[in-house]
Amino acid sequence: MGDVVSSTVRSRMMSGIKGKNTKPEIIVRKALYRKGFRYRIHQSKLAGKPDIVLNKYKTVIFTHGCFWHGHECHIFKWPKSNVNFWTQKIIGNRKRDQKNIAHLLNDGWNVIVIWECALRGKREDAISKLISEIASEIRIQKSGAVISHAG
């Protein structure tokens, strides 16, 4: 089955999707700030321009959208139109993510990936619990660790 909207409408819709300051990213930033963490955002000097950089803890946090980064969860579905484009795009995003994480680990950074599905539709107390777990991990991590949080 083809797309239900015209290609110009779909193009306009897709171009409106943000890459920075997304809703999941802002939820995590606000919660970390309430827990007393101070951070920088989108530091271009680091591989992958992490969403959140906690220099004091040598930790970076990526908040990944399940669709754009191809997370195999209930949110992600392979598109049924323009299949070749989307397959290349999503697989390319995954490879770039792996390369950026490897580069950060080689530089001694700890990497935390929070997937959209870990936050979407959750109540405030569930998000608070997740952020408390992340805060504990940040404080006790050894150099070069990768932690992923999914819903």
CATH of 19-149, one of 3.40.190.10, 3.40.960.10, 2.60.40.650, 3.40.50.10380: 3.40.960.10
Strands 146-149 and 110-115, by their bridges, are parallel
Q: How far is the C-alpha of 58 from the C-alpha of 110, rounded, in Å?
A: 6
Residue 10 is encoded by which pair of tokens? 């779909």
Chain segment 30-46, per-residue pLDDT in tens? 999 999 999 999 999 99
What is the side-by-side order of every strand in the sheet holding 52-54? 52-54, 59-64, 110-115, 146-149
**What are the residues facing 64 on neighbouring strands?**
115
Q: Indicate the domain borders of the chain.
A: 19-149
Q: Which residues are catalytic?
A: 51, 63, 69, 97
Chain segment 57-106, per-residue pLDDT in tens? 999 999 999 998 999 998 899 988 889 999 999 999 999 999 999 999 99
State pTM to two decimals. 0.84
Q: How far is the C-alpha of 134 from the C-alpha of 9, rounded, in Å?
A: 39
